[in-house]
Amino acid sequence: MKPTILALDLEGTLISNAISQIPRPGLYRFLEDVFGHFDQLVMFTTVPEKRFRSIASLLVREGSAPAWFAELRYICWSGKTKDLLLASPRLGDALLLDDHAPYVHSGQEHLWIPIPLFGSPYPSSDDGLNVALRRLLDRIGDAECFPRTAARFEEL
């Protein structure tokens, strides 16, 4: 079964954190690229929804994220791990892109796409989203699209 949903972490994955809100290099292009490979993107973060909406709106206004990013479905959750059954009732429909292994729900490790932490000093040369895109496309079987996608990604 090919996953159709991508659950995205926010802090350390797409941006620095909810305080400084520094967009990871290549964020806009990455979001556009993954949007084209999944039926649905959802936000799966520890950041409260109201705060996420504020951050997402700022990223859109600054041109760091596409307009649709601010409207992503937000997954409300509690506990210590991110259970992908909250994204879809069928296990395997969703993948989790996250930098923090302890948030991966037990038994769902095979659905986790790890991404290197985007941490201080937040280098402009960070290529974590490029690494994540390659891993995602390998996982969903669209790796043959990567040379074209990567070329566009590298232009940023």
Q: How does the average pLDDT of the chain come out, rounded? A: 92
The first and second tokens of residue 12, run together, are 């350390």
Q: Would you give the DSSP letter of residue 120?
A: T
* Predicted TM-score of the model (pTM): 0.90
| More confident of the two residues 51 and 145 | 51
- Paired with 73 in beta bridges are 42
Q: Once rounded to an integer, what is the mean pLDDT over residues 94-117?
A: 98
- Paired with 6 in beta bridges are 41, 95
Instruction: Decide if pLDDT at 153 tops 60.
Output: no
> Closest by alpha carbon to 14, among 48, 75, 54, 55?
55
Three-state secondary-structure class, residue 75: coil
Tens digit of each residue's pLDDT (9 = 90 or more) over 58-88:
999 999 999 999 999 999 999 999 999 999 9
Q: Are 106 and 90 in contact (CB under 8 A)?
A: no
Q: What is the pLDDT of residue 154?
A: 41
Instruction: Decide if pLDDT at 100 tops 80.
Output: yes
Alpha helices, DSSP H, located in 1-156: 27-35, 49-61, 128-140, 146-154
Other Cβ atoms within 10 Å of 64 Cβ, number = 21
Three-state secondary-structure class, residue 144: helix
Q: What is the pLDDT of residue 1?
A: 77
| More confident of the two residues 142 and 139 | 139
Q: Once rounded to an integer, what is the mean pLDDT over residues 86-92?
A: 97
